[in-house]
Copies of this chain bind each other. A is one copy, B any other.
Amino acid sequence: MPTTTWNRHHVLSLADFTTAEYDTVLQTAASFQEVLSRRTKKVPTLQGQVVANLFFESSTRTRSSFEIAAKRLSADTLNFAAATSSMTKGETILDTAKTYLAMGTDIMVIRHREAGVPNAIAAEMDRLGVRVSVLNAGDGQHEHPSQALLDLFTISTLIDPANPRLKLLKGKKIAIVGDILHSRVARSNIWSLIATGAQVHLAAPPTLLPKLFAEYFSEESGDRSQESLVISPSSPSPQLFLHWQLEPALQDADFVMTLRLQKERMTAHLLPSLREYHQLFGITRAKLQLCKPNVKVLHPGPVNRGVEISSDLMDDPEFSLIQSQVTSGVAVRMALLYLLGSGKA
């Protein structure tokens, strides 16, 4: 493990992550990636600690990833799924969290459909003066930090497998395409990509990317042209670009991050049809011609094949990083659990 100072008790948002923290996560994850290629893919680091997956909103994919990460650190795991639970009847979420605290949980991994729930639980833990850590595994449309960190790890290890670090992405052009308005993944990704010094280009239909969205990341007003909006979060460079067409975002892009389109949006009249969406914003081999020759495509999964991305492109290892993202997810979550938990054991 890299020697490092890590003073964060909780991982709730990437909005205030420092460069040193990003690099610590990336380098710790790289160490675990190496462990995972060994004959025995397990380390005793968190033996005797309890990781509770408190999933008030169901998610098999993220929960399995955290569960396998915890088990490979030799932690014991508890799974709480609100959907099938009798626990929450009449009880507040804070009371549920405090019950798991009192049972001896060391790290709580929390997903909830409401933004801010992990923060509220973390604040309560701090108020009580206990050492339990809270890890946001997705809250409403707010943030999904471990997903953005695994995206960062996937990209940076592609550039330098031995030494992934934030500044490898400096100057890269990265497109984020799809339902940005409702995506917690997009919000966390934007924070981390801005931190790298990359040029971040968002592309979506106007209903899924309102102009006001940019103000979440910067109070400065940008250059409001008709088709694109350019804002500078903290300095003239890096910059965040908003587009309501796909092409300017893809032009010379190094990486294209696609977002999951929740089909429920259709019923809310935010989209004309899935076919039209795919025609305008779906990523295909043809559209990738606009990008740099060695462009790579990411998607947080699960993918609606033929909607966000064409089926053949998704399966093409020359372009698709989707499987790497899943593998990176385990290493990054091991890193986060390790960094949060190693001080406690």
A-to-B contact residues, CB < 8 Å: 36, 39-42, 47-50, 58-61, 64-65, 67-68, 71-72, 76, 78, 80-81, 83-92, 95-96, 98-104, 263, 301-305, 307, 323-327, 329-330, 345
Q: Would you mind naming 18 contact pairs between A and B with Cβ atoms under 8 Å apart? A: A41-B104, A42-B48, A48-B72, A50-B71, A58-B85, A60-B85, A64-B100, A68-B76, A87-B302, A89-B302, A90-B307, A95-B301, A95-B302, A95-B303, A95-B305, A99-B326, A102-B327, A103-B326
Which residues in B have their C-beta under 8 angstroms from that of A345?
39-40
Chain B residues positioned under 8 Å from A47 (CB to CB): 40, 42
The residue that A103 contacts in the complex, of B64, B80, B103, B307, with Cβ under 8 A, is: B64
**CB–CB A81/B80 < 8 A:** no
Majority DSSP secondary structure for residues of A touching B: mixed
Copies of this chain, tallied across the complex: 3
**Contacting pair B78 A68 (CB below 8 A):** yes
CB A175 to nearest CB in B, in angstroms, measures 22
With both beta carbons as reference points, the residue of chain B lying nearest to A44 in the complex is identified as B40
Chain B residues with CB below 8 A from A65, complex form: 103
| Minimum C-beta distance from A135 to chain B (A) | 18
A47 to B47 CA separation, bound complex (whole angstroms): 15
Residues of B within 8 A of A84 (CB): 58, 81, 83-84
Using A90-B263, A91-B302 as known contacts, say yes or no to A323 and B61 having CB atoms under 8 A apart: no
Residues of B within 8 A of A86 (CB): 58-60
- Which residue of B71, B89, B99, B307 contacts A76 across the interface (Cβ within 8 Å)? B71
Q: Is B87 a contact of A60 with CB atoms below 8 Å?
A: yes
Contact indicator A305/B92 (Cβ below 8 Å): yes
- Verify B58–A99 contact, CB threshold 8 A: no
Among A40, A60, A67, max chain B CB count under 10 A is at A60
CA A15 – CA B197 in complex, angstroms?
A: 59
> Given A48-B42, A84-B58, do A301 and B64 touch, yes or no (CB 8 Å)?
no
With contacts A42-B48, A302-B87 known, is A330 near B104, CB below 8 A?
A: yes
| CB–CB B301/A91 < 8 A | yes
Whether the pair B48, A99 counts as a contact (CB closer than 8 A) is no
How distant is the Cα of A80 from the Cα of B58 in the complex, in angstroms?
A: 12
A95: chain B residues at CB < 8 Å are 301-303, 305
Residues from chain B with Cβ under 8 Å of A325 in the complex = 102
